[in-house]
Structure 1
Amino acid sequence: MKRLARGDGGSTVEEGELRELIGHQEKIREDERKRIAREIHDELGQRLLALRIEVSLLKQDEYDFADKRSQRIDEILEHVDATVKSVRTLINDLRPAVLDLGLVASLDWQARDFERANGTACVFRADDEDLELDDKRATVLFRVLQEALTNVVKHAKADKVEIGLKQDGKNLVLSVADNGIGMPKVRNRKIKSYGLAGIRERIGLLNGEFRIVTGDSGTTLIFRIPVSE
């Protein structure tokens, strides 16, 4: 089979594998579009419709009394708050607002959120608290870490994760290490079964490298991307 390009850690990528990777990423994007459209219709759309009905009900005679009207307005405000929350969630799915705090702060937030949500100890360390990237690269690293941590929950059976961020010359290096059961199948090129194809594609678009160090006790994912174009 024809070889086309350099892949993770400098290895070559086969033409068929590249097509499969592109197809996989397109499926991820299409699934994400469907999910967001469904949430807009089912969640946001239904809430707005309910709000319209509730506001129109205020015209009824029974709400001419101040106490009844006040109670009804309180209920409507609760629905408004829930709708605002839904909108914020959708916006965060498209671009995490926490990225506005800076790269280091956003990754640290993600580590603490992961620990809080899953009960798995998660430590984040950065060599330089002032490390910054352009928005495109920062978003990729945020999403990559998000996917890597999701992978830990699904497969690693770990009780501790260590995340590191450092600058190495003209490159930025992000590492995610867990103390779980390891990923022996990766050595047999069954990387897809661990949901890492999307991660590899994101890093590849930035001319970066993605490396896996794994065994029977723990896995470390290492992402290296250029600081600039």
Structure 2
Amino acid sequence: MRQVVLDTETTGLNPTKGDRIVEVGCVEMVDRKLTGRHFHYYINPERDIPDEVVAVHGIDNDKVKDSPKFRDIAVELWTWLEGAELVIHNAAFDMGFLNAEFERFAQEQREPFEKLETVCGVLDTLKVARDKHPGSKVSLDALCKRYGIDNSHRTLHGALLDSEILADVYLMLTGGQTALILDDSSESGSSDQAVDVSALDDSGGHLITVQPSSAELAAHEAFIDMLAEKSGKDVRWP
């Protein structure tokens, strides 16, 4: 089974109001193993990128002024995705932007438009995480913390980096990490994934309560504010 873990970065939140994709990143898995293949482009959105959005992903107009436009990569991207199951965190957001871009391209080519989900399966890891961990925070950062996945290098959002992190999160959400496909002699199902037991003490397995530092609380608040702005919804639990 071929799966493509996908993420996009955009100029804003609403493709129906003219917001565009500025980066697309994908990593490939076959039979739950990362193959090492990826698809990645920065994209010239043909419009200004607001400063408040640049603060989230670090992609400004100068960075993408010489990048291809979506029409330049549309066929290559469609071919890369076609027939795969797409694994996306908050799939409605990314699929809405991708379909808007492909529809614009189809109109330019004067061809009929098919939604991407007619040729791909779509799995939303946000829904999977909510079903598996009801009442818990299910942002990508929160899931990394829950599963002991190192995302310390994620200082800004980035489509390729986030898709690589999401691949690890997805595998843990749905049964555990598997190895890269590097050679046929590697033993199937083996894993060196360490088990995080730092929350257990040595006197009977009782949980230790760890209070966050003031810096961690501040970082959390900043992330929640950014997530609320990107999703357009209140993301705080009452």
Confirm or deny a common fold (TM above 0.5): no
Structure with bigger RCO (C-alpha 8 Å, 6+ apart)? 2
Larger Rg: 1
Q: TM-score when scaled to structure 1?
A: 0.24
Q: Which structure has greater helix proportion?
A: 1
